A and B are shown apart, each in its own frame.
Chain A
């Protein structure tokens, strides 16, 4: 069973703090890893993608990938109330790279002003 696991939360952080979101996946063959932000009633919005081990930074967001541990994380620095949403971790379904995604159930983040 190919699975993506996330803590459902809610994760509450004060405004300005760092929010840390974690995700594990079961299929070692996955090659593409994504974090999406989804507001209630809206379609998922791509936040970050990462394809190789290590860190990838984009503004306030940093994605971390550790393929040996089958672990992906997302750090949000200087969290803002507007960051309050559900964050979905997704990995591609092997084999190959341009394949459908398997999603975790999402972590609800609440940033308290």
Chain B
């Protein structure tokens, strides 16, 4: 349970452009989604929490105007990296709270690898 898909799975973009990452819930209604990122050779860090129908909450140090999160429906949350720079190159992963999984376990989806050149 609580299967999510992300699209694209990997993307390369040029510095200064924007990239949208989609996170779709396939077998549950995602009222909340957590967005993490993982820089090369580092661990996962929570970026923000999106909630359907309300504004996302961002972690300290994460620029909300740069990382636009929109939780448009119960099956779709999106992260848009605006004016991307090479330092934004990272692995971005969305995941729902574990109580949305049928077995109450915390799984992670496939993630999106972003490379900014």
Contact = CB atoms under 8 A, between A and B. Distances in A.
Contacts of B97: 98-99
A101 B46 contact: yes
Interface string B88-117: 000101000111000001111111010000
Interface residues of B, number: 21
Contact of A36 (B98, B108, B113): B108
A46 B107 contact: yes
B43 A104 contact: yes
Nearest to A102: B46
Contacts, number: 47
Given A34-B106, A46-B106, A49-B105, A105 B42 contact: yes
B43 A103 contact: yes
A100 B43 contact: no
A43 interface: yes
Given A34-B106, A49-B106, A100-B49, A41 B113 contact: yes
B43 A105 contact: yes
9 shortest A-B CB distances, which residue pairs?
A: A98-B97, A98-B99, A103-B43, A43-B111, A100-B46, A103-B44, A105-B43, A100-B34, A44-B108
17 contacts: A32-B98, A32-B106, A43-B91, A43-B108, A43-B111, A46-B106, A46-B107, A49-B106, A88-B43, A88-B44, A90-B44, A90-B106, A98-B98, A100-B36, A100-B49, A103-B44, A105-B42
Given A43-B111, A46-B106, A97-B98, 9 more contacts: A43-B108, A90-B44, A90-B106, A98-B97, A101-B44, A103-B44, A104-B43, A105-B42, A105-B43
Interface of B: 34, 36, 42-46, 49, 91, 93, 97-99, 105-111, 113
